Structure 1
Amino acid sequence: MSGKDLNLKSKNNMKLWNINFISLLGINVLTFMAFYLVYPILSKYAINLGASLSMAGVIVGLFSITALIIGPFGGILTDKTNKKYVMEIGTLINGIATLGYSLAPNIGVIIFFRILHGASFSITSATSVAWATEFIPKDRIGEGIGYLGISQIIATAFGPEIGIEGANRFGISKTFMVAAVLIIVASFCMNFLPNTNNTPKKNTETKKHTIKLKEIIAFEILPLSFIGGLFFMGNGLVTSFLVLMGDKRNIRGVGIYFIVNALFLIFTRPISGKIYDKKGLSMVLYPALLFSIAEALFLGHANALWMIILAAIFKAFGQGFAQPALQAECFNKMGSEKRGLASSTFFIGANVGQGVGPLIGGGIASSLGYTWLFNISALMLLCGILFYAIYKRKKDI
């Protein structure tokens, strides 16, 4: 299938399960598998090199803070340049940064590669979803994004547990090397996908173009972005501190959280997209916020493995329901010509949440303990319900 066959005029006649969409799912499995191999063991690696618990949280959070700064420019790159080339180069840099972790002799070097990783990953995150929508029928965007998330689900199911087990058996550095290889292979595989190149034609006039703020941030969908950020905040807390919390409370086998969560996500992700396409955002978002509140409370008060498992199920019906619906809403509000902008704006909230979570969470966990850490997360999600109700009421007036 050529790039010309995938233009906007033919999208309604396109099948969802086309070869390019399926290939992209496989590539996403590799990149997210590598991501989740690294995430749950990075804080422990930093502590082994002499970092305090608070500093380990800062190092993990630097990824998303960097992504917050660089990410919005990813929307410009996506909409005004070639999506395929942006993805190939950005993914390759991801691999180099991940390899850098394994070679880091001290905290300063880890910080450097963490910043590089955050910058490149933020651009590829914005570009990948926008690029994927070119292989999805226009009237099935919500469903397609839901299925796209399954590639991340598969990685979530096995990545953290493999990363933790690999670090215990072979060492953290070697685990980072394996993750880097997976990312570089993913970058190579992207070369076989068609180059749709649906970018605006360049203006032949030699007029200077000043980048405006509205080209970097889509303010009309910013409230949706920050609601999404609440879910990512909880995600950042879990991936950064669940292993450490399990060690402190003598709860063995906490890695099963990721497997259980992923298995249930396989069900919730596609269902979420279908409900959104037929019923709208509110039918998905309110239940998702309530489920995420329950997840945070169960984690905060967990003293046995069954509570960790139940929290994982609640998370699948929380973030698993909300994320594809919120992303689809952002794409539909911005239109096909600004999907890069929509994607990068959505990830502003994601980066704020996933960055601020570990950044502040390390301090809260050190001073108040893990119970208060997750109680505060539940309170933030409760505020999210009130915020969305106010937002929706203003939109309906």
Structure 2
Amino acid sequence: MERLWTGAFIRMTVGMLFLFTSFYVLLPTLPLFVKQLGGSTAQVGLTTGTFMLAAVALRPVTGGLLDRFGRRPFLMWGLALFVLAMCLYNWAGAILVLLGLRILHGMSWAVSTTAIFTAITDIIPPARRGEGMGWFSTAMTLAMAVGPLLGIWLKDSLSYHALFLCAACLSAAALLLMLGVRMPFAPQVRTGKMELFEPSVLPIAAAVFLINIAYGSITAFVPLFAGSIKVNSGTFFLVYAATLLLSRPVAGKLSDKRGEAFVIVPSLVITASALVLLGFSTGLFGMLSAAVLYGIGFGAAQPALQAAAIRLARPERKGVANASFLTATDLGIGMGAILLGGVSQYAGYPTLFIISAVLVACSLLVFILLGKRSLGRKETQPLVQYK
């Protein structure tokens, strides 16, 4: 069996941890920074939305370019632009300037993360793709647990200047770690037309879109729901992150041995069950039980779905396939926070989480009827060129 824990894989994974930590330090602190600049609640939402829209707009183009010109130039320039954007936050003294910076930051995020996810699928041996993606995803999980806590501490104990400087240093460390990694690349045969979407992954992208609408409701409304029932939301996310760390590597190995569908189907059932339980929770025990179930279900489903998308795509179309997958993720999270906000306002949080569970059930249905049928073992062409 081919080695998974190569120097390239380790450096990419640790670099991913640094990059996502720098991203997550802004998650709880940027809204407070907007308020400090005199922004309204609507402008807080706008700063989040512009980042997401910029990322969604650029991902498909990035995917097509990755398949034509290789991963390295986009990974390096994307990360360099990301570091620059982090540094520029210290000079954002007005809301309009901040909105422009968020667009730049979102563009750099789209280019760098699409290139990173594509490069790592090239580096991981095909026979261990599920396991590799499971371990690689734990970097994001750790960042999700550490980043917000670090961000709040830096803001409260030091200053926003220290916060943005730390985020810039973390992203610069990610750039330095990935700088010398050799990235295998099989160039796409040029036909004169650059494809922006991979049709073969459409069933997977549709399933991913639906489960991430539900995930958007978790990230946006669990803190508010927890406060309404007198529970610390940080405890929910800490338990959720810890469960993710345990579930993803195990689920990855299972998907390699038994196939992605063997992991995805029960994982989506568990995810839907977690959301139902969350909707009926009235205290700490219910919320923590839901956090454990959600960590197991969503934590196992996400990397297995990505491994399935890569296996369905042609080897020379991995960039577009990853871009399609990540675009579905971004759109789902963004729309979940926006669309389900009205549900929470008029029908309450329990109804919101029940609707989220129904969306996960629809994702399961889409996968069983369309995605599962499409999956089949494919031989991967050897990658011989490096860029």
Q: 1:76 to 1:90 in 2, by over 3 A?
A: same
Query: Corresponding residue for 1:289?
Result: 268
Note the C-alpha offset of 1:60.
Answer: 2.1
In the alignment, which of 232, 240, 247 is matched to residue 261 of structure 1? 240
In the alignment, which of 337, 349, 360 is matched to residue 339 of structure 2? 360
1:239 paired with 2:219, answer yes
Please say if residues 204 and 371 of structure 2, whose CA atoms lie closer than 8 Å, have aligned partners that are also in contact.
no
Aligned positions, number: 375
Q: 1:97 to 1:369 in 2, by over 3 A?
A: farther
In the alignment, which of 355, 358, 364 is matched to residue 385 of structure 1? 364
In the alignment, which of 179, 188, 211 is matched to residue 193 of structure 2? 211
In the alignment, which of 60, 64, 87 is matched to residue 72 of structure 1? 60
In the alignment, which of 301, 307, 313 is matched to residue 292 of structure 2? 313
Rounded to whole Å, the distance in 2 between the matches of 1:47 and 1:331 is: 41
In the alignment, which of 301, 308, 313 is matched to residue 322 of structure 1? 301
Query: Corresponding residue for 1:198?
Result: 185
Query: Corresponding residue for 1:6?
Result: none
Secondary structure, aligned partner of 1:38: coil
Query: Corresponding residue for 2:72?
Result: 84
Rounded to whole Å, the distance in 1 between the matches of 2:340 and 2:105 is: 21
RMSD (CA atoms)? 2.7
Amino acid at match of 2:50: L
Rounded to whole Å, the distance in 2 between the matches of 1:41 and 1:188 is: 26
Query: Corresponding residue for 1:4?
Result: none
Gaps of at least 5 residues in structure 1 are 1-12, 204-208
Query: Corresponding residue for 1:225?
Result: 205
Query: Corresponding residue for 1:206?
Result: none
Q: 1:358 to 1:180 in 2, by over 3 A?
A: farther
- CA displacement, residues 346-380 of structure 1 (integer Å, 9 cap, x when unaligned): 11210111221223344444454444433332221
Amino acid at match of 1:323: Q
Amino acid at match of 2:255: Y
Query: Corresponding residue for 2:380?
Result: none
1:112 paired with 2:100, answer yes
Rounded to whole Å, the distance in 1 between the matches of 2:235 and 2:111 is: 31
- CA displacement, residues 119-165 of structure 1 (integer Å, 9 cap, x when unaligned): 22122222112211232222111111111112112212222222234
- Of 170-179 and 262-271, deviating more is 170-179
Note the C-alpha offset of 1:202.
Answer: 8.4
Gaps of at least 5 residues in structure 2 are 376-387
Q: 1:272 to 1:301 in 2, by over 3 A?
A: same
Rounded to whole Å, the distance in 2 between the matches of 1:248 and 1:84 is: 47
Q: 1:380 to 1:117 in 2, by over 3 A?
A: same
Q: Quick one: percent identity of the two aligned structures?
A: 29
- CA displacement, residues 211-268 of structure 1 (integer Å, 9 cap, x when unaligned): 34xx21011211201211233333333333444444455433x223332222222221
- Of 386-395 and 150-159, deviating more is 386-395
- Of 61-70 and 50-59, deviating more is 50-59
Q: 1:232 to 1:392 in 2, by over 3 A?
A: closer
- CA displacement, residues 9-34 of structure 1 (integer Å, 9 cap, x when unaligned): xxxx7411111111111111100111
Please say if residues 214 and 359 of structure 2, whose CA atoms lie closer than 8 Å, have aligned partners that are also in contact.
no
Please say if residues 236 and 353 of structure 1, whose CA atoms lie closer than 8 Å, have aligned partners that are also in contact.
yes
Secondary structure, aligned partner of 2:93: coil
Query: Corresponding residue for 2:328?
Result: 349
Rounded to whole Å, the distance in 1 between the matches of 2:348 and 2:159 is: 28
Q: 1:115 to 1:237 in 2, by over 3 A?
A: farther
Query: Corresponding residue for 2:379?
Result: none
1:129 paired with 2:117, answer yes
Amino acid at match of 1:60: T
Please say if residues 61 and 354 of structure 1, whose CA atoms lie closer than 8 Å, have aligned partners that are also in contact.
no
In the alignment, which of 320, 345, 353 is matched to residue 374 of structure 1? 353
Q: 1:170 to 1:372 in 2, by over 3 A?
A: farther
Please say if residues 135 and 248 of structure 2, whose CA atoms lie closer than 8 Å, have aligned partners that are also in contact.
yes
